[in-house]
Structure 1
Amino acid sequence: MVIAIRPLIGFVLTALMAAPVFANNNASVTSPTSVMQAPKKDGRRWSGFISASRSTNLINHDDGSQMDAMDYLARLNLKLTNNFSLRVQGGYSQDMKDAQNDDFSNTSVSLRRSPFDVNRTFKGTYRLGMIAPTSKDAYKRQNLLTGITAGGDLMINPDRLITGLDIMGGLSVTRNIHQYETALDGVVNTQYSSSQMVSVSYSFESGISLSATFTHMNTWSYQNVMRDSFDFSQEIGYDINSSLNIAAGHTNSGSTLRPNGTDSNVKLLDEESSLIYASATFIF
């Protein structure tokens, strides 16, 4: 299951989640704008959102392989101090064609630093967290015990840009801890993973926003075999009010290299793997 801002703080704190957050191979997706929704009421001690997204293949080949999925995502933020907050996030993916593929995502718990000035041009933030193996793929097939994550984001100071424009990048690393190095199906489990992201968004005063996010991901197995993949998402969103956002978009993901191991497989559209989706997000 594969699993999107206007306020500065919410954008920096949440942009990395535009990358897929589900770890198994079903091709469902959650709206990047929904995932990146800022805690727009972040003056409160508690904030968060609940999102629902419907996705399908960009092209129907009429061969019975058309994907149809619903994804649900929830996030809860607890403001500990002016500089630090605690976040809990989890989700559920529903295959509308085969209920046997339905599954929860892994649940993440993280301590996050609010944005601070690096210099006059950049703002930064960092986070440290753990993963609870709540998906069947993680705790049944992989025998995952937990994962430890760390990451940071760097954003161009909005004062240096035109009003409404946000540009940022981020890096995160994860160390997985499994009961066994090999999964039940014989596949060697992933020990380390890394994600590098670049995101650009523009928000109009009317409430309409445009965003594009590119994420590159690396994984290393317990046998030190490295694989890499990418995710490229584009979206248009609309804030109906401060508590409700709707969005529609496209995402394409896959291996960074073609089967020959040398030619690039990164592209905006792919008739085999491109997905389109629509989402609705309630922010509280």
Structure 2
Amino acid sequence: MSFAMRPLIGFLTTVLLASQVFANASVTSSTTLVQQPKKQGRMWSGFVNASRSTSLYDFEDGTRQDAMDYMMRLNLKLNDKFSMRVQGGYSQDLKYPENNDFSDTSVSLGRAPMALGKTIMLGYRVATGLPTSKDSHTRQNLIASLSTTVNGMINPDRLISGLDIAGSISAGRNFHQYETALDGRVNTQWTSSQMFSMAYTFTTGISVSAEFLHRNTWSYQNVMRDSFEMTQEIGYEINPTFSIAAGHTNSGSSLKPNGDDSNVQLINENTSLVYASATVVF
């Protein structure tokens, strides 16, 4: 097994999505984990992903969420170490079409993971977020965002075949025309996130994965908020070009309203979503 990173479900996706999430775009994919097989050796490559998500519980009171999300990434391999990426998306609210919106566009430069000793591999990515969503450029008056991510993984040679363990730490800065949005809410200035994921790929092409993501944000008035997102997924790579997946994700504030008790939980009847996705790689 070489030092090259195997397809790791969700890890690279989350890293690249960080600049969009940190820019407070109102529409981001509800699926943080997507199947992402890779075609090695090409100068140009990418993928298109479509996912359908809905609330895990339907209380039949009009609160059920139902959405379609589309995401596209284009990669340019500069050399064996560095690559450029452009990523964007579009989200459809199937219940309230007036909420349909593009996501913010991310443009990033990344370095492939390099060995740090025999066990750890580290890489990094620098990204800028462009306000292509209505929420960012109209409500928030966002000019742009900048973020940097250090991602690490256990060298696959040190693990059993098929197992991937990875994590990342990100920091970002948003630049707005005004500190306050049009609706009176104070915009987010600084962001930070920490992510940990594990994935196992069977020889049959079936894979299972789990991810935990914790975020901190600071407003222009220095008010700090934190949130979490947990996702579990099972996928199947039909061939190197096409794969499918299904999973569950839950997100929300890390603390309950009393500010003391943890709100982190695997399943929440009010916020849990289930999803199915399909990815085409080119």
Q: Give the TM-score taking structure 1 as reference length.
A: 0.93
- Name the CA distance, whole Å, in 2 between partners of 1:148 and 1:207: 36
**Residue-by-residue CA offset, 1:220-261 (whole Å, 9 max, x unaligned):** 000000000000000000000000010000000000000000
Match of 1:120 in 2: 118
Match of 2:146 in 1: 148
Match of 2:5 in 1: 8
**Residue-by-residue CA offset, 1:157-179 (whole Å, 9 max, x unaligned):** 11111100000110111100000
Q: Secondary structure at the match of 2:138?
A: helix
AA of the residue aligned to 1:8 = M
CA gap of 1:24–1:83, structure 2 versus 1, over 3 A, is closer
AA of the residue aligned to 1:175 = R
Unmatched segments (≥5 aa) in structure 1: 1-6
AA of the residue aligned to 1:216 = H
Q: How many residues align?
A: 275
Does residue 71 in structure 1 map to residue 69 in structure 2?
yes
Deviation at 1:29, TM superposition (A): 1.2
- Name the CA distance, whole Å, in 1 between partners of 2:105 and 2:28: 19
- Name the CA distance, whole Å, in 1 between partners of 2:42 and 2:250: 36
**Residue-by-residue CA offset, 1:66-112 (whole Å, 9 max, x unaligned):** 11100000000000111100000000000011110000000000000
Give the 5 Å matches for 1:166-181.
Answer: 166-181=164-179
Deviation at 1:16, TM superposition (A): 2.6
- Name the CA distance, whole Å, in 1 between partners of 2:7 and 2:100: 30
Q: Which has the higher contact order (CA 8 A, sep 6+)?
A: 2
CA gap of 1:134–1:174, structure 2 versus 1, over 3 A, is same
Residues 18 and 32 of structure 1 are in contact (CA less than 8 Å); yes or no, is this contact kept in structure 2?
Answer: no
Deviation at 1:62, TM superposition (A): 0.7
Q: Secondary structure at the match of 2:238?
A: strand
Match of 2:275 in 1: 277
Identify the match of residue 202 of structure 2 among 196, 201, 204. Answer: 204
**Residue-by-residue CA offset, 1:172-222 (whole Å, 9 max, x unaligned):** 111000000000001000000011000000000000000000000000000
Deviation at 1:25, TM superposition (A): 5.1
Match of 1:245 in 2: 243
Q: Secondary structure at the match of 2:34?
A: helix
Deviation at 1:264, TM superposition (A): 0.1
Q: Give the TM-score taking structure 2 as reference length.
A: 0.93
Q: Secondary structure at the match of 1:139?
A: helix
- Name the CA distance, whole Å, in 2 between partners of 1:122 and 1:173: 21
CA gap of 1:14–1:276, structure 2 versus 1, over 3 A, is closer
Does residue 29 in structure 1 map to residue 37 in structure 2?
no
Residues 237 and 247 of structure 1 are in contact (CA less than 8 Å); yes or no, is this contact kept in structure 2?
Answer: yes
CA gap of 1:163–1:15, structure 2 versus 1, over 3 A, is farther
- Name the CA distance, whole Å, in 2 between partners of 1:125 and 1:263: 35
Match of 1:231 in 2: 229
**Residue-by-residue CA offset, 1:35-77 (whole Å, 9 max, x unaligned):** xx14x21310001100000000000001011111000000000
Q: Report which stretch shifted further, 18-27 or 62-71.
A: 18-27
CA gap of 1:115–1:191, structure 2 versus 1, over 3 A, is same
Identify the match of residue 265 of structure 1 among 263, 266, 276. Answer: 263
Match of 1:4 in 2: none
AA of the residue aligned to 1:182 = T
Does residue 94 in structure 1 map to residue 95 in structure 2?
no
Match of 2:215 in 1: 217
Deviation at 1:21, TM superposition (A): 4.8
Deviation at 1:30, TM superposition (A): 2.8
Unmatched segments (≥5 aa) in structure 2: none
AA of the residue aligned to 2:188 = T
- Name the CA distance, whole Å, in 2 between partners of 1:131 and 1:108: 5
CA gap of 1:18–1:236, structure 2 versus 1, over 3 A, is farther
AA of the residue aligned to 2:66 = D
- Name the CA distance, whole Å, in 2 between partners of 1:154 and 1:72: 27
CA gap of 1:251–1:26, structure 2 versus 1, over 3 A, is same
- Name the CA distance, whole Å, in 2 between partners of 1:148 and 1:21: 10
- Name the CA distance, whole Å, in 1 between partners of 2:124 and 2:134: 29
Q: CA RMSD in A?
A: 1.7
Q: Secondary structure at the match of 1:202?
A: strand
